[in-house]
Structure 1
Amino acid sequence: MSWLKFWTLHIGISTWRWLKPIVSHIVAWVVPIYQLTLCRVVFIGVTGSCGKTTAKELIVAVLSSQYKGHKSPGNSNVLGEVIRSILRTRRKYHFCVQEFNVGGIGEAISLEKQFRMFKPQMGVVTTVGDDHISAHGSREAIAAEKGKLIAALPTSGTAILNADDPLVLAMQSRCKGRVLTYGLSPGAMLRAEDIRDSWPRRLSLTVMHGEESIRVQTQFCGAHLVSNILAAMAVGQAMGVSLQSAASALEGLAPVPGRMFPVESPDGVTFIRDDVKAPAWIIPPVLDFIRRASAKRKIIILGTLSDYKEGSPSSIYAGVSRQALEVTDYVFFVGRWASRSLQGRGHAENHAVQAFVTIDHVNGFLRGFLKAGDLVFIKGSRADQLSRIVSGWIQKPKRQSGVVELDLVSAVRAEDVDRTLEISTDGALRDRRVSQLVVGLGNPGHRFEQTPHNVGQWALELLAESLQANWSEVGGWIRGEGSSARPTDAVGETSDHDEPRWAMDAAAGRLNKIERAGLCNPS
């Protein structure tokens, strides 16, 4: 049966390779013919380094107040997605909004084919940033690729351009049709004034077009979303939607999940999820939002940063850590480069900056840390899966009282070692009744105290303090007679000398000997 499946799959793949060019030619012939039947549909393309998805959703909301239409489900740079979007558009529709993402060089070549297939009649460009800058080399090169959308417009087409971004505004020279600009600049045709977004207040602004103005109250968070709102209202103006109708449509629109998306938990902790992408150049407006926010405690959790033009991960993460500390109470990093952020905390005793390897570690810490009234801002990429922090909190087990260090204490108290251990003056373990053996691994020595190099000793000190035990040194070990719920002994290696008795490299061998001797088992 397995051979039959193999040959069936092999024949199927071979057949598809043979048929694919034929199917492509048929599609390339059929789709333009079908598109001719969509004579009253306005095809709208949206691109930009940031805000494409939000802008697309806002555009659809504004246009849907007066018309019926279709939108692309995502921003995949695949010609097939554009073809499907066209084929799903019906003759009764008035618009089709397609999101385009400029990726690497090869994808840019495919982008031209997509524009030829899509035949946009309106093009919206939000901004030009550093996304994919390693592939293109400069923002100017990225702008040249995004500008191909504007160049693809017909003479009857309309370009909707961000007047606050010089690289976007310069694209008007590539437009054969009319241009409609938006932004905060006095020269913008559609502009915003009196912007208010201090959390917990939601974003509101006054939109002006010529002699007309209107106050727009939204459900969104963050002043950096103003340009997306203006872009949507500019598209509405080009399609005959009044400012009043556009404002009414936006007032009831919920934020896009994962993009400045607030989540309020029943126990009073509020999360704001911005966890779809995290280019380094977008961090400043995020920090501005947090600076203006009001909360008992402000906490930011960051994942993997991307698309930074220069500098090492150490300098980038440390720099962001320092900037974040100026506007928040606590800064937590999670992921591969998280430890680099610790260089930005100023001194080793500044525990306001923490680094975690995995999301599970973050969730374990937050269970004993977050309180009602906290505002937790989450910034990362989709690959970081930081949304699990929110789901982990909402679905968390029954909250334990006390600080997070007590989790270690609970573990020590909860388990018994059915062995008797004795600590001799030469450091050897012999029979004597104790409850637990705890070994703190690290690099002991005065120069390593309170650093990540010796987190084991740090944890033992917290454990000793929490257990309120009487500790004494015997033969290079610390032995404690517990004075809390029941007599408890915790044992950990230590040394008063600059060099440890057990070097980190030798610790595994020594612990293996203890285990083989049957004196304790790792738990």
Structure 2
Amino acid sequence: GRLAQLAEPTVGIITNIGSVHMEFFESHEQLARGKGELVAALPESGLAVLNADDPFFPLLSRMSTAPVMSFGFEAGDLRGEHYAAATEGGCEFTVQDVAFHLALEGRHQARNALAALAAGKFAGVGLEEGAAALANVFVAHRLQEHKTSKGVVIVDDAYNASPESMLAAFETLAERPKHGKLFAVLGPMAELGALAIESHQRVGRRAAEVFDAVAVLDSELGSVLADAAGAHLVPDREAAVMWVKNNARRGDSVLVKGSHSAGLDEVVKELTK
């Protein structure tokens, strides 16, 4: 609440209620109420932009002191339809018969675009204008591709990680046409509290389904993830680099992702220098 009081926002956007910061809350509902302090601080003349696909949408809607505009793919005032991974990269979908093509990949990024469109509509930006503005949006370190001198594609998503963003990255890569093998170098996820073990197991199980091989940076939670994924544990970042160099060949792709504290951006730098 204090941050909202300082900033005095007119528009508040809550994209979803995930698991990050659960270390500081006793339940998901408490976490949702904490995020909901943003929309509770909005003026009646403002706008709350909320994800209609999120299970906490009803709670957040009740907390808002401003009118609510919802977005989503299953429901919402601004509803995305016909989502698909674009063959030339990025993704495609429609909103009220207006076609969108994003350079960003993944359903999660398309959903973020819907939230931006809702805020834009409040500011007088129409859907066609919004489609043009969003088409070439680029976010560094979010599934950003680098090709090594050996022809291996390094997919840099190393800035941070949560269970939701891990699974979103996996699904995005699984949507792509497959060229070569798909590898992953993963780190642990922080600030999950009581959900930490289950979350690492869930992410590990899905990693085993998506990737041809996985390496995980060794730690207490890294071991949990590795066990669930049937992955190779590496003791440090240098060993992770060597694992990639020893296993990935021309045409293969390697996702690098973990919490910021894991420092996997150094793995990306070493592999792409």
Q: Same fold (TM over 0.5)?
A: yes
Q: Is 1:333 equivalent to 2:221 in the alignment?
A: no
- What residue in structure 2 maps to residue 30 of structure 1? none
Equivalent of 1:362 in 240, 249, 259? 240
Secondary structure class of the residue paired with 1:299: strand
Q: Residues 421-480 of structure 1, C-alpha deviation per residue, up to 9 Å, x if partnerless?
A: xxxxxxxxxxxxxxxxxxxxxxxxxxxxxxxxxxxxxxxxxxxxxxxxxxxxxxxxxxxx
Greater RCO (Cα-Cα under 8 Å, separation 6 or more): 2
- What residue in structure 2 maps to residue 183 of structure 1? 72
Q: Residues 32-58 of structure 1, C-alpha deviation per residue, up to 9 Å, x if partnerless?
A: xxxxxxxxxxxxxxxxxxxxxxxxxxx
User: What is the distance in 1 between the residues matched to 2:254 and 2:158?
Assistant: 12
- What residue in structure 2 maps to residue 25 of structure 1? none
Secondary structure class of the residue paired with 2:56: helix
- What residue in structure 1 maps to residue 148 of structure 2? 265
Q: Residues 80-137 of structure 1, C-alpha deviation per residue, up to 9 Å, x if partnerless?
A: xxxxxxxxxxxxxxxxxxxxxxxxxxxxxxxx23222221111111111121112111
- What residue in structure 2 maps to residue 377 of structure 1? 255
Query: What amino acid maps onto 1:204 in structure 2?
Result: E
User: What is the distance in 1 between the residues matched to 2:244 and 2:3?
Assistant: 45
Equivalent of 2:103 in 219, 228, 248? 219
- What residue in structure 2 maps to residue 42 of structure 1? none
User: What is the distance in 1 between the residues matched to 2:68 and 2:157?
Assistant: 31
Q: Percent same amino acid at aligned positions?
A: 26
- What residue in structure 1 maps to residue 46 of structure 2? 157
Equivalent of 1:196 in 77, 84, 88? 84
User: What is the distance in 1 between the residues matched to 2:74 and 2:209?
Assistant: 29
Secondary structure class of the residue paired with 1:284: helix
Q: Residues 218-238 of structure 1, C-alpha deviation per residue, up to 9 Å, x if partnerless?
A: 111211212210011111111
Whether the 8 Å CA contact 2:36–2:64 is kept in 1: the answer is: no
Tell me how far 1:373 sits from its aligned partner: 0.9
Whether the 8 Å CA contact 2:13–2:49 is kept in 1: the answer is: yes
Whether the 8 Å CA contact 1:199–1:292 is kept in 2: the answer is: no
- What residue in structure 1 maps to residue 159 of structure 2? 276
- What residue in structure 2 maps to residue 132 of structure 1? 21
Whether the 8 Å CA contact 2:215–2:226 is kept in 1: the answer is: no
Query: What amino acid maps onto 2:181 in structure 1?
Result: R
Query: What amino acid maps onto 1:174 in structure 2?
Result: M
- Cα gap change, 1:341/1:114 in structure 2, threshold over 3 Å: closer, same or farther? closer
Q: Is 1:322 equivalent to 2:205 in the alignment?
A: yes
| Count of aligned pairs | 271
Secondary structure class of the residue paired with 1:166: coil
CA RMSD, Structure 1 to Structure 2 (Å) = 2.3
User: What is the distance in 1 between the residues matched to 2:113 and 2:87?
Assistant: 18
Question: Normalized against structure 1, the TM-score is what?
Answer: 0.48
Unaligned segments of structure 2, at least 5 residues: none
Secondary structure class of the residue paired with 1:376: strand
Secondary structure class of the residue paired with 1:160: strand
Secondary structure class of the residue paired with 2:105: coil
Whether the 8 Å CA contact 1:133–1:309 is kept in 2: the answer is: yes
Equivalent of 2:10 in 121, 127, 130? 121
Secondary structure class of the residue paired with 2:185: strand
Equivalent of 1:302 in 159, 166, 186? 186
Task: State which drifts further: 125-134 or 301-310.
Answer: 301-310
User: What is the distance in 1 between the residues matched to 2:271 and 2:121?
Assistant: 43
Equivalent of 1:391 in 263, 266, 269? 269
Q: Is 1:249 equivalent to 2:137 in the alignment?
A: no
- Cα gap change, 1:321/1:150 in structure 2, threshold over 3 Å: closer, same or farther? closer
Query: What amino acid maps onto 1:274 in structure 2?
Result: D
Tell me how far 1:343 sits from its aligned partner: 3.1
User: What is the distance in 1 between the residues matched to 2:250 and 2:170?
Assistant: 22
- Cα gap change, 1:196/1:306 in structure 2, threshold over 3 Å: closer, same or farther? same
**If you compute each CA radius of gyration, which structure gives the higher value, 1 or 2?**
1
